[in-house]
Chains A and B, each alone.
Chain A
Amino acid sequence: EDQVTQSPEALRLQEGESSSLNCSYTVSGLRGLFWYRQDPGKGPEFLFTLYSAGEEKEKERLKATLTKKESFLHITAPKPEDSATYLCAVQGGSGNTGKLIFGQGTTLQVKP
């Protein structure tokens, strides 16, 4: 069964204090691993898609990496506006069903 586990559940950082969020996954035939950001009262906002182990993508202070078992979202010198819940999701299987399996998310709070 495809599964995604994110850790930690919550993370508090001081502004400028870099850290990483973890997403561990098991999936039969990875078609893509996705990172989303969700602000309170809003729907998730797409950040990245990673396809294969060794791949990396960057956007501003965020950098996502992928191995065969997990993905990391590195946050460098975070700012208060980076506070949000970060969701990881995988799409797998031999057929394209459009189904994304999500983790429970990591809620990040960055204090000034």
Chain B
Amino acid sequence: ETGVTQTPRHLVMGMTNKKSLKCEQHLGHNAMYWYKQSAKKPLELMFVYNFKEQTENNSVPSRFSPECPNSSHLFLHLHTLQPEDSALYLCASSQELGDSYGYTFGSGTRLTVV
């Protein structure tokens, strides 16, 4: 484990389902991030949270809804997804926003939308 734990590791959902991804870190970091990694594409930033407050929404469709109840937990609520949303969803954290010491990533949730 890297210090950032993501659950579940794999998720298959239908287009009408509602599911949530969970991310947890106990590194004492103040910033958390959601990234999407699709096949043959670069990692794409989705959301940024700093001290529980959302500071960046990278034009993400409303069918993705993030939630950050505290600095240690981050959720991504999913509803009415499309097959093209199938991807690896990565959570990351850093001590400070844009920390130059790098981000700590979780192992991701492999999402398949059928």
Residue positions of A touching B, CB distance < 8 A: 4, 31-32, 34, 36, 41-47, 49, 51, 87, 89, 91, 96-105
Q: When each residue 20-42 of chain B gets 1 if its CB lies under 8 Å from chain A and 0 otherwise, what string results?
A: 00000000000101000000111
Contact call A96/B42, Cβ cutoff below 8 A = no
B43 in the interface (beta carbon within 8 A): yes
Q: A99 and B90 in contact (CB under 8 A), knowing A46-B101, A46-B102? A: no
Contact call B42/A43, Cβ cutoff below 8 A = no
Contact call A102/B42, Cβ cutoff below 8 A = yes
Closest chain A CB from B15 CB (angstroms): 26
Closest chain B CB from A31 CB (angstroms): 7
Contact call A32/B2, Cβ cutoff below 8 A = no
Contact call A105/B42, Cβ cutoff below 8 A = yes
Contact call A43/B107, Cβ cutoff below 8 A = yes
Partner of B98, one of A87, A91, A104: A91
Q: Contact residue range for chain B?
A: 20 to 34
Q: When each residue 31-63 of chain B gets 1 if its CB lies under 8 Å from chain A and 0 otherwise, what string results?
A: 101000000111111001010000110100000
Contact call A34/B98, Cβ cutoff below 8 A = no
Contact call A43/B90, Cβ cutoff below 8 A = yes
A93's nearest neighbour on chain B, judged by CB, is B98
Contact call A99/B45, Cβ cutoff below 8 A = yes
B102's nearest neighbour on chain A, judged by CB, is A46
Contact call B43/A87, Cβ cutoff below 8 A = yes
A50's nearest neighbour on chain B, judged by CB, is B100
Contact call A98/B43, Cβ cutoff below 8 A = no
Which residues on the B side are within 8 Å of A104 (C-beta)? 40-42
Which residues on the B side are within 8 Å of A105 (C-beta)? 42
Which residues on the A side are within 8 Å of B90 (C-beta)? 43-44
